[in-house]
Structure 1
């Protein structure tokens, strides 16, 4: 694989209605309705809004046979208005529903974790090899008839594995690991290959971006070994809403798109589904703009493990690198000292002159030629100022360094200087490729200096900055290269927005926590309460609890599984009823919705994790 030069992975073509996927086709964007699939009128109206926003496929939940049968009415009603968007049925727990849906939808999504295997109990079960093989045979006996129905009706399928719904059988053999997630998918893919059924799309999703990226990378490598080229559907499930949902999605999906992986994406936001489409389109277009860029002559370091990366070994310079959390550097060259106390940068680049009032606890960076040893300040040098860098007596120095400036001679000189943090900068069309190439060259040269990534933009809309900067940082974070981030925006956005975006990227990548994390689903026809108003109430009561992870799930499909990584969970149990979880354990069932947020706070307090608002 070429880590430095962008090109799309070769995948097979799957015809989904009149909108083919994979191969040389554009990367498609899609969403999912949150209306009842038995309400034809509401579904048709929402689907048309999604299509008007640019959606190319629309998925609907089909929790029962009645919903699957009503796809026929929805399909007819749409076609009568001239709307030809392919419909995708989303099936969990009941393979009979998939059989019915295959007659009326252009694609059917099944979840290997609950297609034949029983619903997950989170109990440790033991299977002998014979018992395990018997369970696989049961899957085959049920799955092959479904494939035959799909062949007869020219229906494509999506094998959609969710980290949160792995079966107890898979968990018993592989545990809650990327290897287990991949095997859950491969069991079904191998049957498809044996049955010569090629109209298959694959997705592997998780709310944990690290798990999602590592697992998709491993899946692609596993498919390549077995000669498979099925197209990929990418998404970060339960990403949340607002800036968190956008950053988390762009970080995870963007990391994979940047490596040429992915043929269709869904940005899952806890908002109206049509709002997902513009975000997805921005992400696809931004990464796609790297196509046909000037070649980057990067050379991969021998010790780098793409499929199972760990944090790059660096020495610590003050509080940067080593075992320290990644830092945030920000600029205040305009003299504006606006900041949000929750997202205060660790360092501020002031360039030529310190502000009249400096922020407490923040280090200031001055250009090396004007730095004269002021208290709590540190010099920065350009790559052609190596003599000034070598002469500096500061405990911490910064070196702005483009990849093409890192010569063998400079690397040799750097190895002798231990009080330097490198700020990687790039103006390349594929800046990610150059950032990666620089770090790989440092590794190969034996330079263990920390690296902060300087990312420059000119954005006037917060969403644009969130999507682009997260997409640029994703692979760098997941490769284990990030000792810090420096976002520099020349547009009209406030410093507070830029700082929050930087901290949001680090949190979405699970490498530094600065606020409460919400694992919230986007909602669908299964959702058992008003998701958006509930999220607002839960956030209002808990957003000051820095470091906690709280899951807010509309139903039980992925609830306890996706929330296994969360500290507390709020899950729809029935109409107007909520169940509360501590980790995977259900603590209280069927609480009236109007009491549930208060009960959640009581649960958090009972476990000693609640602090009163300041």
Structure 2
């Protein structure tokens, strides 16, 4: 891959009704209904709303044969209304439902973790090679009949791997890893190819953006090695709602789209599904603007691996670099010093002079020409006054640069002064590529200067800024780069809100935690309670627990699996009943829903993880 210049990965084409996927086709947008699939009128109406919002495909759950067969009635209503958008059946645990659905809809999604393997128990088993081979034969026995039906009816298949539902068999050899996700996919892919079935789409989903990005890249590497080029569906599972869901989705999906990876996406929000479509379209439209950008010339560092989760090593200047958490720098040069007490920046940039109204408790960055050496202030240099950087008596000196500034002279200064922190800006059409080029050049030069990524935007809608900044900067943090973040916006969004978005990007990139993380699914026809209302109630009770990750899952399908990445889990067990988990362990089962939040709080208290909220 080219780390610096945007180019779409060229995949094979999967036929999905009249809307083919992959190849030269545009990145397709999709969502999923959250109605009961046995409710024909309600499901058809929601399908149409999703299509009207701009979706290319719509998915519906089919947990049983009855639901799968009712897809025909839903399809008939949708087609009678004049909509030809392909429908997709989402299958878990039930090959018979998959076979029924494959005769009706244009694509069937199956999950290798539970299509044949028994329900996950999180127990570890030792499989001999012979026993493992026998399990593969069981997969063939269930999968090949489905493939034959799909061939007959021209139905595509998505092999949809979920990190949270890897089978015990895969877990026994690969653990809960990206490598296990890849192997789970390849087992099914090998069978499909051997049977001459190629209308295949693949997804590798997880709520962990780091694992997601690594798993997709590993899968592409493995497919390339075997001569496969199947199209990819991208999504972050259980991303959540509101600001958090948008930022987390843009970090995970955007980091792959930035490298030309991905043929269809779903932004999974815990909101009505039609609201997912505009978010997904904005993300795709923003990334593909890079097509045909001016070439960025750079050499990738030979020691860098896109599969590694290691961070770039730097020296430490003050509290920036080394093993320190990435810092947040807020531009307050406009004179607005209103702060959000929950998201206080580590530094504020105040411009050319130190204003009287600036908060004294937060370190300030001042343009070098106006810097007087006041306590808790630090100078900002430009290339134009670089020669004076050695004269400044400061423990930390900031230097604003862009990639075109990175001459041998500048690199020499950076290598000789261990108090310098670069604020790296860009105005390139492909800013991600240019900022990557800067860091790779530092690495090639043996320069370990800390780097704060700086981007400028002009947005009035919070959603637009969240999506763009998260896609741009999250990509770089998932690369393992970055010792800080500085987002500047010329639009009408208040600076304190921009600060919150920066902390959100760092958290979604899994490099700094600043608030309770909620892993909540987007809901579907399997959901056993009002997900949006429940998430709101759980947040109200626990949002001050900034050290915890809490999962709120609508049903058992992905719930316990995704709980493995959460500290506590609240999962629908049956109508009106909730089960509570601590990590992947079931603690209490079938609690009446009206008692469940109180019992969740008590579970957190019983395990010593509760702190009282500030009054």
- Place the TM-score, normalised by the shorter chain, in its bin: over 0.9
3-state DSSP of counterpart to 2:16: coil
Matches within 5 A, 1:38-117: 38-117=38-117
Q: Deviations over 1:529-585 (max 9, x none)?
A: 010100010011111111210000000001111111111100000000000111111
Question: Is 1:122–1:168's contact at 8 Å kept on the other side of the alignment?
Answer: yes
The aligned runs of 1:475-554 (5 Å cut-off) are: 475-554=475-554
**2:213 matched residue in structure 1:** 213
In the TM superposition, what is the alpha-carbon distance from 1:409 to its structure 2 partner? 2.6
Question: In structure 2, how many angstroms separate the alpha carbons of the residues matched to 1:357 and 1:604?
Answer: 42
TM-score by length of 2: 0.99
Partner in structure 1 of residue 608 of structure 2 = 608
Match runs of 1:403-414 below 5 Å: 403-414=403-414
DSSP-derived class of the 2:404 partner: helix
Pairwise CA distance, 1:372: 1.4
* Contact 1:368 1:388 (C-alpha < 8 Å) held by counterparts: no
CA distance in 2, matches of 1:517, 1:74: 36
Note the alpha carbon deviations across 1:297-342, whole angstroms, 9 max, x for none. Answer: 0110111111124100000000000000000001111211111111
Q: What is the CA–CA distance in structure 2 between the aligned matches of 1:353 and 1:583, rounded to whole Å?
A: 50
Match of 1:433 in 2: 433
Residue number in structure 2 paired with 1:150? 150
CA distance in 1, matches of 2:58, 2:401: 45
* Equivalent residue number for residue 228 of structure 2: 228
What is the RMSD computed on CA atoms of the aligned residues? 0.8
In structure 1, distance between residues paired with 2:550 and 2:82:
43
- State the distance in 1 between where 2:176 and 2:510 align: 18
Aligned partners of 2:303 and 2:419: how far apart in 1? 24
In structure 1, distance between residues paired with 2:144 and 2:117: 15
1:362-511 equivalent positions in 2, closer than 5 A:
362-511=362-511
**Alignment deviations for residues 122-151 of structure 1 (CA, whole Å, 9 cap, x no partner):** 001110001001101111121111101000
Query: 1:474 Cα shift?
Result: 2.2
Q: Which ranges of 4 or more aligned residues in structure 1 deviate by more than 4 Å?
A: none
Aligned equivalents of 1:453 and 1:5: distance in 2? 19
What CA distance in whole angstroms lies between the structure 2 residues aligned with 1:221 and 1:249? 23
- For the residues of structure 2 that align with 1:291 and 1:408, how far apart are their CA atoms? 30
Render the CA deviation track for 1:569-609: whole Å, top value 9, x for unaligned.
Answer: 00000000000111111111101001101111111111111
Partner Cα separation in structure 2 for residue 524 and residue 412 of structure 1: 57
Q: Deviations over 1:374-406 (max 9, x none)?
A: 110000111232211122221100111110110
1:123 aligns to 2:123 (yes or no): yes
Alignment deviations for residues 449-498 of structure 1 (CA, whole Å, 9 cap, x no partner): 10000010000000000000001012211111011000000000001210
CA distance in 1, matches of 2:341, 2:360: 11
Unaligned runs of 5+ residues in structure 2 are: none
* Alpha-carbon separation, structure 1, partners of 2:546 and 2:118: 37
8 Å Cα contact 2:515/2:544 also seen in 1:
yes
Once the two structures are TM-superposed, the CA of residue 358 in structure 1 deviates from its matched residue by 3.1
Shift of 1:256: 0.1
Q: Distance in 2 between matches of 1:55 and 1:331?
A: 38
Secondary structure in 1 aligned to 2:365?
strand
Out of 367-376 and 257-266, give the one that drifted further.
367-376
Q: Secondary structure in 2 aligned to 1:357?
A: coil
Shift, 1:357, TM fit: 2.9
Output aligned runs, 1:258-269, within 5 Å.
Answer: 258-269=258-269
Query: Does the CA-based 8 Å contact 1:552-1:570 persist in structure 2?
Result: yes
Structure 1 window deviating more from structure 2 (571-580 vs 334-343): it is 334-343
8 A contact 2:3–2:433 mirrored in 1? yes
Distance 2:500 2:413 in 1: 36
- Is 1:37–1:43's contact at 8 Å kept on the other side of the alignment? yes
In 2, distance between residues paired with 1:316 and 1:340? Answer: 27
Q: Distance in 1 between matches of 2:410 and 2:450?
A: 16
Q: Secondary structure at the match of 1:463?
A: helix
Distance 1:262 1:223 in 2: 14
> Partners of 1:240 and 1:142 in 2: how far apart?
34
Deviations 1:83-128 (A, max 9, x none): 1110000000011111100001100000000011111100011100
- 2:167 alignment counterpart: 167
Q: For residue 89 of structure 1, give the secondary structure of its aligned residue in structure 2.
A: strand
Cα separation, 2, equivalents of 1:563 and 1:105? 31
Distance 2:585 2:142 in 1: 32
Q: Normalised by the size of structure 1, how large is the TM-score? A: 0.99
State the number of aligned residues: 614
Deviates more, 1:12-21 or 1:264-273: 12-21
Structure 1 counterpart SS, 2:482: coil
User: Matched residue of 1:342: which SS?
Assistant: coil
Deviation of 1:360 after TM superposition, in Å, equals: 4.8
Which structure 1 segments of 5+ residues have no match? none
